[in-house]
Chain A
Amino acid sequence: AQTVTQSQPEMSVQEAETVTLSCTYDTSESDYYLFWYKQPPSRQMILVIRQEAYKQQNATENRFSVNFQKAAKSFSLKISDSQLGDAAMYFCASPDLTQGGSEKLVFGKGTKLTVNP
């Protein structure tokens, strides 16, 4: 079965510093997207950033960027200039094609990020 591993259950960072959240995945798809979602205390799941696997260039969205290592199946999220509002659970997600041909996302168990003032 497809697995997504986030090895850091909790992380903390000082405001204005940089933090990296790690993720490894195990998809068998050849062409795919990878995603990071953020879940603040409001519990809304918010798409933070996506990476297209066939693109060698790492995706960037303002202060959020990824380090995508396709061969290693690694997809880490870097948050620069951390802000208090970045405090949240962060979930990595990878695609999985079911036996019936249906597409679904598999989520990691999440990393709880605390931002210290």
Chain B
Amino acid sequence: DTAVSQTPKYLVTQMGNDKSIKCEQNLGHDTMYWYKQDSKKFLKIMFSYNNKELIINETVPNRFSPKSPDKAHLNLHINSLELGDSAVYFCASSQGLGRPNSYEQYFGPGTRLTVT
């Protein structure tokens, strides 16, 4: 069984379009994350949700909007896509705040977004 899954794995779209990436985890974790990995492989956190509540919102353009319908799902919607949004986006999950080893994160397979 896949622990953290993301759809789609690949996304090619044109500038100005709106797109969404979906993430689901079946680990029973409370906390979920979105990361962006740029072309130099640098991994940077974008957002984090704990039990459907936004707890981390790094400096990310307003065009990016996360949504967590329940604690097992975290989606990322991107409006008015730009060339610079091309990257790999990873979803991850962890046990949750204050839990033992709460920092240990499990990652999804990533979504490679290409904006043309």
Mark A residues whose CB is within 8 Å of B. Answer: 32-33, 35, 37, 39, 42-47, 50, 89, 91, 95, 98, 100, 102-105, 107, 109-110
User: Is B45 close to A, CB under 8 A?
Assistant: yes
CB contacts (< 8 Å) of B101 on chain A: these are 33, 50
Partner of A47, one of B90, B106, B112: B106
B41 touches A110 (CB 8 A): yes
CB contacts (< 8 Å) of B104 on chain A: these are 33, 35, 47, 50
User: Is B79 close to A, CB under 8 A?
Assistant: no
- Tally of B interface residues using CB under 8 Å: 26
B109 touches A95 (CB 8 A): no
The binding surface of chain B is classed by DSSP as strand
A43 touches B55 (CB 8 A): no
User: Is B27 close to A, CB under 8 A?
Assistant: no
B103 touches A44 (CB 8 A): no
How many Å lie between the Cα of A32 and that of B102 in the bound state?
9
How many Å lie between the Cα of A46 and that of B4 in the bound state?
12
How many Å lie between the Cα of A105 and that of B44 in the bound state?
9
How many Å lie between the Cα of A100 and that of B90 in the bound state?
23
Chain B nearest CB, measured from A34 CB (Å): 9
User: Is B43 close to A, CB under 8 A?
Assistant: yes
B56 touches A105 (CB 8 A): no
A107 touches B43 (CB 8 A): yes
CB contacts (< 8 Å) of A45 on chain B: these are 90, 92, 107, 110
Chain A nearest CB, measured from B48 CB (Å): 6
| Chain B 93-116 residues near chain A, CB threshold 8 A | 97, 101-107, 109-110, 112
B41 touches A105 (CB 8 A): no
Chain A nearest CB, measured from B86 CB (Å): 14
How many Å lie between the Cα of A66 and that of B103 in the bound state?
18
How many Å lie between the Cα of A91 and that of B44 in the bound state?
12
B106 touches A103 (CB 8 A): no
22 A-B pairs in the complex with CB atoms less than 8 angstroms apart: A35-B103, A35-B104, A43-B88, A43-B110, A44-B109, A45-B90, A45-B107, A47-B104, A47-B106, A50-B101, A50-B104, A102-B48, A102-B50, A102-B97, A103-B103, A104-B45, A104-B56, A105-B105, A107-B42, A107-B43, A109-B41, A110-B41
